[in-house]
Amino acid sequence: DAWPYPKAPLVPLAETVHERLSVEIFRGCTRGCRFCQAGMITRPVRERSITTVADMIDTGLCKTGYQEIGLLSLSSADHSEIAEMAKALADRYEGDQTSLSLPSTRVDAFNIDLANELSRNGRRSGLTFAPEGGSERMRTVINKQVTEEDLIRTVSTAYGAGWRQVKLYFMCGLPTETDDDVLQIAALAREVIRAGREAAGTKDIRCTISIGGFIPKPHTPFQWAAQLDHETTDARLHKLKDAIRADKQFGKAIGMRYHDGKPGIIEGLLSRGDRRVGKVIYQAWLDGARFDGWSEHFSYDLWMNAAEVALADETVDVAWYTTRERQKTEVFPWDHIDSGLDSEWLWEDWQAAIAEENVGDCRWTPCSDCGVCDQLGTDIQVGPTGVTELPMPMMRPSVVN
């Protein structure tokens, strides 16, 4: 519950994208999504109390002048006292032109209650959920324990409560994925619109599906996985696009956003690269690569040529780093960095993924022995803490002046 943050956060002189006070309400996530590096390397879950969060917000608003607060964490709706926290804060700042936001992509009705609470005074525009995998099978492989029924029930509640836009995040290229797994995204989106129209009593609703390419990350169970080549990624996404377009009844209400597969291969090269990839980056820079995160500046050919030049004397190439599945015995370039996770546990979780088995969240099910608590000498710290009193509000600069 400690608060070692700077008590007076710096406020940039230039306008930034997220002009708000970010307050971390807990750290770590043990839901166990197998693709998620952030969740894996920040275990276990350690929550802050309502009192400390409220103190951080009040002090932060006074010192910065921000009018927006973001309650951040890897899955903010999972805080054990989030409902009480959201209500207390919404009450305190009601009519104060201070808005609260809670980035959460959890797929359940509780999330909608929270969104309703936080948007009490505002517009109900869009809600985002992240099923990540199109088929039930795929979601088991990635350990995202969300059923189609959960999703449909949740979006129906959202549309019924007045929300008009739902955005769904998915990934393409996940381990063991087939064309059919991705095509099921279209079927799911179709069902979302059908159920949504029924719940909202209007045809005026939309669902946007946003698809990112899967990149295997170090320190996750998928660090051994082969990345999908860009040709197959593109072919799969085009099939999905065609399936949505062909849907005369619901297709017009479904939007689709995605990137083609080539940038993902370069991301994959950087994600699991070793020291030799440093030479590739340098060569790409010499060849003029700048601001590659912007698609208008990105050149796949430039990077591939740079890799060919820089790796000319090596026995490896881009495919070796990206589309190759690793063996259990392979020594990784990041093995000397200790995230507290037991590598045997990571391997077993990778095998469980291939066998399509789920592993529970250790907040609510028995410890699965990932090794973190023992190795880092820590423990799960979840509430209720009993520390729920909101501290007295400080005098705002606007009030003082």
- Residues binding ligand SF4 (CB under 6 A): 30, 43-44, 362, 367-373, 380
Q: Which residue has the tokens 């190795």?
A: 375
Return d(Cα 322, Cα 217) in angstroms, integer: 11
By C-beta, is 96 or 369 nearer to ligand SF4? Answer: 369
By C-beta, is 269 or 346 nearer to ligand SF4? Answer: 346
Write the DSSP symbol of residue 75.
S
Closest separation in Å from C-beta 361 to ligand SF4: 8
Closest separation in Å from C-beta 333 to ligand SF4: 24
- Residue 236's alpha-carbon distances to 40, 145, 184, 226, 258, in angstroms, are 29, 24, 11, 17, 11
- Residue 129's alpha-carbon distances to 73, 169, 343, in angstroms, are 16, 6, 31
Half-sphere exposure in the Cβ direction for 197 (13 Å, CA): 12
Beta-carbon contacts of 360 under 8 Å, excluding residues fewer than 6 positions away, are: 32, 366, 368
Closest separation in Å from C-beta 272 to ligand SF4: 24
By C-beta, is 55 or 78 nearer to ligand SF4? Answer: 78
Of the chain, the end-to-end C-alpha distance in Å amounts to 33
By C-beta, is 43 or 106 nearer to ligand SF4? Answer: 43
Return d(Cα 379, Cα 387) in angstroms, integer: 19
Closest separation in Å from C-beta 367 to ligand SF4: 3
- In sequence order, the β-bridge partners of residue 71 are 23
Closest separation in Å from C-beta 377 to ligand SF4: 11
By C-beta, is 58 or 349 nearer to ligand SF4? Answer: 349
By C-beta, is 11 or 367 nearer to ligand SF4? Answer: 367
By C-beta, is 43 or 230 nearer to ligand SF4? Answer: 43
Closest separation in Å from C-beta 176 to ligand SF4: 24
Closest separation in Å from C-beta 337 to ligand SF4: 18
Helix (H) or strand (E) holding 212: strand 206-213
| Angle separating helix axes 148-160 and 109-118, nearest 10 degrees | 30
Q: Which residue has the tokens 């589309």?
A: 323
